[in-house]
Structure 1
Amino acid sequence: MSPSELVEEIREICRENTDPAIVAKYSKYFQDGYDAYGLKLEQIEETVMEILDAGAGYKLIQQTCRILVRSPKYEETSFAILLTKAFEKDFSSKTIHELEFWFTFGITNWAHADVISTELIFPLFQNNMIGLKELEDWKSASNKFQRRAVAVGLIKPMKANKEISPYLDFLSALMLDKEKEVQQGLGWFLGEAWKVNESITEEFLMKWKNKSPGFIFQSATENMNEEETKRFRIEKYQISSKK
């Protein structure tokens, strides 16, 4: 089977299982639009298992996923993520470049960016296939979801290492980012960093408190109590989110 044939097989299954009610249910979570067939996660997972059981190899899956991630349809990128995750044992230092391709030609929502960050990027760190330097160019990527993936992708490595300073230094370049999706990702990271080391994280937050967009701090402090949150309230708002 060729990549194009496998893609068509996947799309046929999607068309056969279209459910407008599911599309309507999840549309509210995607402000930039939600172009989907309306499949249940269980249907996608079942199809992935059938593809794998049929003997699809990693090379075929890689080529297929390059086609799938270009599609505007939500589930097609979901298929790409799950199929790739199934071959985690075949990941290498080159895998990060494959993910870069995905962000260059696809990945247009926060949900896919976050799953890629936690399920595909983290194993690369975990197995010492990449380090911070491999994500350096991602911080200035044109795709805002790729920049978000930098912050979200470092949450698990940071929690595993318990050493947060290198990660905070690395993320400083994103603290003035004007995109709300990136700010939310940074806030998520900082909230998790605070759980690991309060003093170092608080020092970092105080440093940026009157320079960075307020949404970062809103996200970072949402699990803190009222007194703790007050300390990071912005005194002079200098940068607003991009409309």
Structure 2
Amino acid sequence: MNKIEQKHKQVIDFYIKNADKNVVKKLSRYFREGLDAYGCDRKKEEAQHNRWLKEWEEDMTTKDFLDFGDRLVATGKYEEAHCATYFILSGKNEFTPETFERIGKWLENGIQNWANTDALCMSVLSIFIFEKIVQPKDFSGWTSSPSKWKRRAIPVTFVEAIKKGHQADSYLKVIENLMEDPEEDVQKGIGTFLREVWKNDPEKAENFLLKWKEKCGRKIIHYATEKMSKTDRERFKRTKK
């Protein structure tokens, strides 16, 4: 058994020991497609994450944590995917474009719900944008991914950039390739992104929505316009045929 297998066993043993069906039942309400989870108290989990990282700091490199992350997300377990996100943050100072692509594969090879996706976007993938390791255009290849979670990751990551005051134009160019995506989970992410753009630049967001309102999914419109007045929202209804 190599060191990653040993550490994975530690992770599994911890979660089995601290599994709680009531926690799973409570969490499952937020996942319409179901949730594969152990059910662990979040505070207890976070404390254990910190202990693991301290214990492993001399033993695990960023590459090791990438390999470990591959293994963790492949199980499909909610908490193990959360571990992968938390652990890889310890190597953020060594992130490269290759790291970006490697982490992106987690969204095709195991991550299978909105919560794990969004946590990865907000805490990890956003770093690649903020530190200029990648550009918005580097997400373009993700728009054709067979995984709806990888496609959702694009607008959810971009939300963080807009919140930081980034100009929307380069992000909108990538989002255009997703505007006819049929998956509601992707549409919700896009709508949230456009709502954030609207807060900073209403004219730009509204012109973009007017361009797409006849073709894009309705969840995009719903989420993008929910902070507008009722009168303003009327402008983005589809034309009756």
What TM-score comes out, normalization by structure 2 length? 0.93
What residue is the counterpart of 1:217 in the other structure?
221
What residue is the counterpart of 1:241 in the other structure?
none
What residue is the counterpart of 1:173 in the other structure?
177
Contact (CA 8 Å) 2:108, 2:149: kept in 1 or not? no
Q: Which amino acid aligns with 2:40?
A: L
Q: Count the aligned residue pairs.
A: 237
Q: What CA distance in whole angstroms lies between the structure 1 residues aligned with 2:83 and 2:240?
A: 45
The question of 1:145 aligning with 2:149 is answered yes
Contact (CA 8 Å) 1:144, 1:182: kept in 2 or not? yes
What residue is the counterpart of 1:101 in the other structure?
105
Question: Matches of residues 85-124 of structure 1 in structure 2 within 5 Å?
Answer: 85-124=89-128
TM-superposed CA distance for 1:158, in Å, is 2.9
| Residues 162 and 81 of structure 1, relative CA distance in 2, 3 Å threshold | closer
What TM-score comes out, normalization by structure 1 length? 0.93
TM-superposed CA distance for 1:161, in Å, is 4.2
Equivalent position to 1:206, from 207, 210, 220: 210
TM-superposed CA distance for 1:236, in Å, is 4.3
TM-superposed CA distance for 1:226, in Å, is 1.4
Question: Matches of residues 187-202 of structure 1 in structure 2 within 5 Å?
Answer: 187-202=191-206
Q: Which amino acid aligns with 1:13?
A: F
TM-superposed CA distance for 1:101, in Å, is 2.2
What residue is the counterpart of 1:234 in the other structure?
238
Contact (CA 8 Å) 1:125, 1:131: kept in 2 or not? yes
Equivalent position to 1:62, from 53, 63, 66: 66
Contact (CA 8 Å) 1:35, 1:73: kept in 2 or not? yes
TM-superposed CA distance for 1:14, in Å, is 0.2
TM-superposed CA distance for 1:43, in Å, is 2.0
Question: Matches of residues 5-44 of structure 1 in structure 2 within 5 Å?
Answer: 5-44=6-45
CA RMSD of aligned residues (A): 1.5
What residue is the counterpart of 1:134 in the other structure?
138
Unaligned 5+ segments in structure 1 are 238-243
Unaligned 5+ segments in structure 2 are none
Q: Deviations over 1:13-63 (max 9, x none)?
A: 000001011101010111111111001221221111111111332333222
TM-superposed CA distance for 1:87, in Å, is 2.5
Corresponding residue SS for 1:108? coil
Contact (CA 8 Å) 2:139, 2:174: kept in 1 or not? no
TM-superposed CA distance for 1:89, in Å, is 2.1
Q: What CA distance in whole angstroms lies between the structure 2 residues aligned with 1:45 and 1:89?
A: 21
TM-superposed CA distance for 1:117, in Å, is 1.1
Q: Which amino acid aligns with 1:23?
A: V
Corresponding residue SS for 2:111? coil
Contact (CA 8 Å) 1:214, 1:234: kept in 2 or not? no
| Residues 48 and 179 of structure 1, relative CA distance in 2, 3 Å threshold | same
Contact (CA 8 Å) 1:44, 1:79: kept in 2 or not? no
Q: Deviations over 1:186-230 (max 9, x none)?
A: 000000000010001100011111111111101111222212212
What residue is the counterpart of 1:3 in the other structure?
4
Contact (CA 8 Å) 1:152, 1:189: kept in 2 or not? yes
Q: Which amino acid aligns with 2:21?
A: P
TM-superposed CA distance for 1:163, in Å, is 1.5
Q: What CA distance in whole angstroms lies between the structure 2 residues aligned with 1:195 and 1:166?
A: 17
Q: Which amino acid aligns with 1:30?
A: F
TM-superposed CA distance for 1:67, in Å, is 0.4
Q: What CA distance in whole angstroms lies between the structure 2 residues aligned with 1:236 and 1:187?
A: 22
